[in-house]
Each structure stands twice: as C-alpha cells, then as structure tokens.
Amino acid sequence: MAKSKILIVDDDCDMRWAVRNVLADAGFEVEESDGAGAALEQAAHDPPAAVLLDMHMPGLSGDVVLRSLKRLDPRLPIIVVTAYGTIPAAISAIREGAFEYVTKPFRNDYLVETVRRAVARATVAQPAIGEGVGAGLAAQMGQGPAIQALIADVKAVVSTGYSVVIGGETGSGKEVVARSLHDYGPRAKQPLVVIDCGAIAETLTGSEFFGHEKGAFTGASERHRGYIEEAANGGTIFLDEVGNLSPTGQKALLRTLENRTLRRVGGKEMIKLDMRVIAASNEDLKGHAKTGGFREDLFFRLAEYVIMVPPLRARSEDVPFLAQRFLKQAREVLGRPTGEIDPGALDLLCAYEWPGNVRELRTVIRRAALATSDRITACDLAGSLCRQTAVPVSVVSNRCTPLHQRVRDQVHALECDAIVTALKDAMGNKAKAARLLGIDYKTFRTKLKTHEAERGATANG
C-alpha cells in the first residue's frame, strides 16, 4: 500500500529534521520545503496528502501560503504549526480553512495522530474519479435526451487518459465538455491549458506552442515556456478549433505527441511530456482528413475517442432551463432579484432556430435581463429574435398592430405549424407527436384543442 505523502514547510532545518523523523517512523512519506515559493511549486506538481505549515517564515507569511495552497486544492488538509504566543493567529488560520493547529514544542504522538486524522479526512472527502460529471454537465447544459446521450459519452472516457476530439457547432458547449473531462478526470489537480489555435499566427506557432530559449531569435530577450510545457507535468492541453492550425503547426504537433517530448525553439534540452490532449473543432475533421484539409495521421492521434455536442436547435427541450439559468446569472451580476420569463417568451425562445447556439441564447437573455425590471415577455425578445425569424406575411403587413400583439401572433403561428407537422410525422398519434415536440401529452392536447377550436371558428366565420 502506498504511503501518504506529507509536505513539511518550515525554514528551520532542525525542526524539519525532527518532524521528518517522527512522521517517517509513523509510516509516512515525507517531503520538505524551506520556503513558501518552493512549497507552492511542490504542491502544484506533486500534490501531498497533507501539509505541515509553519506560520512564521521569511518572505510570504503563513496565512498567504495557506490561502494559496487552498486555491490549488480546496480539499488539501493543512496543519498549522505555531508557538504558544501566536495561538490567536492559528485560530485565524482555522477560519481561513486550516485543518488544525499544533503548538511548539509538541508531543510526538499528538503530531502523528493529527496528521493521521488529516489524511483520513482527505481520503474520505476525495471523490472517485469521474464521480459527479453527469450532474455537473446537466447543471450547465440541461437534462434532455440529447444531453443524456452526451453525458454517457463523457462518462465512458472521463476517467481514462484517452485523447478526445469534441465536435460541434460554434457556441454549442464544446469547452464546457472539455473542462468537465479535465475537472472530473484523474488530472483535475493539474493545469488545464487552453489554446485557441485560430488566434496564433503561423510564424509564432513554434514559440507559442513549444516555447523558446533566450536569444533564439530577434526579440527573444528571455526564456519562454510554451503552452504545451505549461501542461507537461500531469496537466491537460485543450486545442480549441484545432482545424485552424497551419500545416506546419500540425506537423510539429504530431511529432511532439508521438514522441511525448518537446524542445524549445533554440534549445537542446528534450522535455518529457505527461499530459492529456483534448481537441475541439466546429468542422468535420474526419472529412477534412480524408480530403487532405487536415493531417490524417494527426486526426487519428487526437481522435482516440470522439464526442459530438448537439446544436441547441436539436434539443429545444433544454431552452427553458438554460434561459432561466442565464437569467439568474445575469440578474446576480446586475445586483437585482431573480426575474421570470413569461410562457409566451419561452415559446418564442423554443421556436427559434438558434444559429449561434447556447452562446447566442445567453447573449439574448443577458440583454433582456438588463432592459427589463422583473419579467421578460415576448416583446422584450422581439428585437433580438424577430429579425432572424420568419414572420407571417399577415403580421408584417399590418404595421399598425402593436409590437406585443405581432410577437404573440408570430409565436402562435409557429406553434400551430409545429403541431400540424408533428401530427403528420406521427401519423396522427398524439402521444408520439408530443414526444417529437419535447412536451408532455397533456400540454400537447391542450394546445391542439385550442388550435382546432380557432380553426373551426375561422371556417364558420
């Protein structure tokens, strides 16, 4: 069974030696750091099971180090070591998130017992790899059938080291999926480095991706670590819109991924890579690979597993949930109470095609949240949606009709058309038609009766 690793952070070498011996005899693996900066770097690259932190060291104060360690890993138990005269400071550290404090001089058995309790709590609190990813995605994206299928794909690969290609239209949520693969995966404690492949000039690809040494070219005044090196020690690299990478960049990336090493521009040192690779594209990478628009060997290197994110128009059942979520977020930012969205406004949102996907919906809701006091109506959305939604000729031609009535008529016309089409597709089966529209059977019957009554009144009139 692997020993739990304890990091001792103390500038007093005699104290570190004494604590090391006590904890090593108790069966722990012990690492030491004599300063705050080195301790933070050690904790980031090789996370310990617990930390013993002296509160009084040169440079950064203990409370600053404590907060920094907590930002690296909120679950990391930190035991504060302090003198009798500074117990109030230790109590303050407990409020900042420290697990416990011990005072100098301490009894060896008490120190060992405190460390054991800290490690035990961390072990219990540590969730299994991949646990919660489904709930996390549903909380961000919705709970419709298309998202459930997406969640199943993510669960299949989240706990592995597979390279993943995420496909989907712009604004559909590819980065949300990529972050979930990292945050719930085995590399969650290490960095996720995001590279926008379309934003890097071809001439800078080598330097930005792989870094450069001082003097490697004109203007290289100091050593620069590239994006890939930032994730090299156990992290994840996310290649956003990888299809925009130049042929030269594709070749260099393939060589790096195959060899699992990189060399900075102008350097000789070969740096070993331990990282996961996730790529995303709004294009058909596989199709481009077949036609020569993207390196086929690189595609197969990246696409050990492929996840497709559905466009918003293919999952309109999630629109009400997303709209309410974005409204709540926007109102919180504005410092206003959470508002409501009228049923008519939700109908309009669900009927819209959303060419910009979830990103467009978020923008529309944020705009409406700013412009309204407490309730979003269809009229509040008209300026954002009606320019891009087909409006019945009868509505457009009547310029004297109030805006809210024109919007209501438009929503009604779209709804009637959707009901008729669904019934035709379901060959008259109302329950199936309701499922096709993503609404419950009772709601479908109510809307159908209203539509039929209006149609009958028009015929008799």
Residue 377 lies in a domain: yes
CATH code, domain carrying 434: 1.10.10
Quickly list H helices, 203-318: 205-210, 227-230, 247-259, 285-291, 296-302
Does one domain contain both 287 and 352?
A: no
Does one domain contain both 42 and 151?
A: no
- DSSP codes, 43-55: HHHS--SEEEEES
Does one domain contain both 214 and 93?
A: no
How far is the C-alpha of 102 from the C-alpha of 100, rounded, in Å?
Answer: 7
Strand partners, 279: 165, 239
Q: Quick one: pLDDT at residue 145?
A: 93
**Digit-coded pLDDT (tens) for 20-75:** 999 999 999 999 988 777 788 788 777 899 999 887 777 666 777 888 887 777 78
Does one domain contain both 191 and 227?
A: yes
Q: Which residues contact 411 (CB under 8 A, 6 or more apart)?
A: 344, 347, 348, 351, 378
How far is the C-alpha of 369 from the C-alpha of 331, rounded, in Å?
Answer: 6
**Digit-coded pLDDT (tens) for 82-130:** 775 555 666 677 777 788 888 878 889 889 999 998 888 776 656 667 7
How far is the C-alpha of 417 from the C-alpha of 95, rounded, in Å?
Answer: 60
On whether the CB atoms of residues 211 and 154 are closer than 8 A, the answer is: no
Q: Quick one: pLDDT at residue 391?
A: 39
Residue 130 lies in a domain: no
Does one domain contain both 180 and 317?
A: no
Q: Quick one: pLDDT at residue 265?
A: 85
Does one domain contain both 180 and 35?
A: no
How far is the C-alpha of 33 from the C-alpha of 20, rounded, in Å?
Answer: 11
Does one domain contain both 171 and 298?
A: yes
- DSSP codes, 356-376: THHHHHHHHHHHHHHH-SSEE
Q: Closest Cα partner for 240 from 149, 302, 162?
A: 302
Q: What is the helix (H) or strand (E) element at residue 331, kind and residue range?
A: helix 319-334
- As for how many domains the chain has, the answer is 4
Q: Quick one: pLDDT at residue 241?
A: 93
How far is the C-alpha of 2 from the C-alpha of 28, rounded, in Å?
Answer: 9
Amino acid at 79: I
Amino acid at 62: G
Does one domain contain both 325 and 299?
A: no
Residue 131 lies in a domain: no
- DSSP codes, 55-104: S--SSS-HHHHHHHHHHH-TT--EEEEEEGGGHHHHHHHHHTT-SEEEEE
Does one domain contain both 375 and 269?
A: no
Q: Quick one: pLDDT at residue 319?
A: 95
Does one domain contain both 303 and 175?
A: yes
Residue 134 lies in a domain: no
How far is the C-alpha of 195 from the C-alpha of 237, rounded, in Å?
Answer: 8
Q: Quick one: pLDDT at residue 394?
A: 38
Whether the CA torsion 305, 311, 314, 316 is positive or negative: it is positive
Residue at which a domain ends, from 125, 154, 188:
125
Tell me the whole-structure pTM to 2 decimals.
Answer: 0.60
Q: What is the helix (H) or strand (E) element at residue 114, kind and residue range?
A: helix 108-125
In the chain (461 residues long), the average pLDDT of successive 10-residue segments reads 83 89 92 82 82 79 78 82 65 76 84 90 69 90 94 94 95 95 91 88 82 81 85 92 91 92 86 93 93 94 96 94 93 86 90 92 92 85 62 38 57 74 80 79 76 58 48
Length of the chain: 461
- Counting beta carbons within 10 angstroms of the beta carbon of residue 126, is it exposed (0 to 12), middle (13 to 18) or buried (19 or more)? exposed
Residue with tokens 């990292």: 182
- The one-character DSSP state at 202 is G
Residue 461 lies in a domain: yes
Q: Quick one: pLDDT at residue 129?
A: 75
Q: What is the helix (H) or strand (E) element at residue 112, kind and residue range?
A: helix 108-125
Residue 246 lies in a domain: yes
Does one domain contain both 182 and 192?
A: yes
Ramachandran bin of 97, using left for φ above 0, alpha for ψ from -120 to 50, beta for the remaining angles? left
Q: What is the helix (H) or strand (E) element at residue 42, kind and residue range?
A: helix 36-45
CATH code, domain carrying 67: 3.40.50.2300
Residue 93 lies in a domain: yes
CATH code, domain carrying 243: 3.40.50.300
Does one domain contain both 158 and 266?
A: yes
How far is the C-alpha of 172 from the C-alpha of 359, rounded, in Å?
Answer: 7
Cα Rg for the chain, rounded, in angstroms?
A: 29
CATH code, domain carrying 359: 1.10.8.60
How far is the C-alpha of 241 from the C-alpha of 228, rounded, in Å?
Answer: 16
Residue at which a domain ends, from 344, 365, 389:
389
Range(s) of the domain holding residue 67: 5-125
Please measure the distance between the N-terminal and C-terminal CA atoms of the chain and give it in whole angstroms: 84
On whether the CB atoms of residues 345 and 328 are closer than 8 A, the answer is: no
Residue 60 lies in a domain: yes
Residue at which a domain ends, from 71, 97, 125:
125
